[in-house]
Amino acid sequence: MLKAEETVDDLLINNLRLIQKKKGSRFTLDAVLVAHFAAVKQGDKIVDLGTGTGIIPLLLSLRAQDLQITGVEIQEEIAEMAERSVQLNNLAAVIKIVKGDLRGIHKVLGGGRFNLVTVNPPYWSPEDGKVSPAESRAISRHELTCSLEDVVASAGKLLNYQGRFVLIYPVAKLLSLFELLRCSHLEPRRLRFIHSFPERPARFLLLEARKNAPPELKVEPPLIIYEKPGQYGAEILTWYGKEVEPCGK
């Protein structure tokens, strides 16, 4: 099940394990934040767009009973790796990995069928900063295979009435994000700013939008990642129940 260039990493939550490459795209705290911010209800039908190695579906599988989770990944090698992680955790009855392009995935999975869509999207255009020479890492960070507009449009097509769309995104791009959401009939309803340290300004945010919902935005208390360098804040530690080493970005 494990290839020479891969590792099996303990997610430190309910004995979940994840297969990843030793070098290249590896999960970061961003995915963990999305999985914990998402409101998950019993029986939800969920799609995780750009699922990568499947970290978000694995974490979401712990949140409620009778879930049906589909992870969509365009890179064949990474999708195959995610599928092996699903098998490794005995979650094939809950999680399905689909290799495909999110821009047309509603034609494969069906439109208007899902309660929740999650995504940890690429934040930057190819012109923003240095693009990683590792293809999988470059695709996860830069808009090489899809744009935010593509991601939002896909979520809008997949979700049912009042379905929830959850993502993490830079604060600096908040206004353009809101504009794109409303073009797809997704109304911002729940917002939480992320601060690296208590005294630092927020650089990223977590957002939940709902399909065809009336405008009514709730801003939740800020999420503090670190109490001090190398030590997670109290809220994040409660997710694990013990001290953990910080995830990389």
Confidence band for 130, pLDDT divided at 50, 70 and 90: low
Confidence check: pLDDT of 249 > 50: no
DSSP states of 133-179: SSHHHHHHHB-SS--HHHHHHHHHHHEEEEEEEEEEEEGGGHHHHHH
Classify 78 in phi/psi space as left (phi over 0), alpha (psi -120 to 50) or beta: alpha
Q: Does 128 reside within a domain?
A: yes
Q: What is the mean pLDDT of residues 238-244?
A: 71
SS3 (DSSP) at 31: helix
Tell me the CA end-to-end span of the chain in Å, nearest whole number. Answer: 27
Number of domains in the chain: 1
Q: What does the pLDDT read at residue 154?
A: 97
* Assigned domain for 216 exists: yes
Q: Is 53 part of any domain?
A: yes
Domain containing 79 equals 6-240
Evaluate whether residue 248 is within a structural domain.
no
CA dist list (Å): 238 to 7, 12, 56, 164, 165: 26, 12, 18, 25, 25
pLDDT digits 0-9 by tens, 60-118: 999 999 999 999 999 999 999 999 999 999 999 999 999 999 999 999 999 999 999 99
* pTM to 2 decimal places: 0.89
Which CATH number goes with the domain that contains 13? 3.40.50.150
Overall average pLDDT of the 131-156 stretch? 69
pLDDT tens digits, 3-15: 989 999 999 899 9
At 234, the amino acid letter reads A
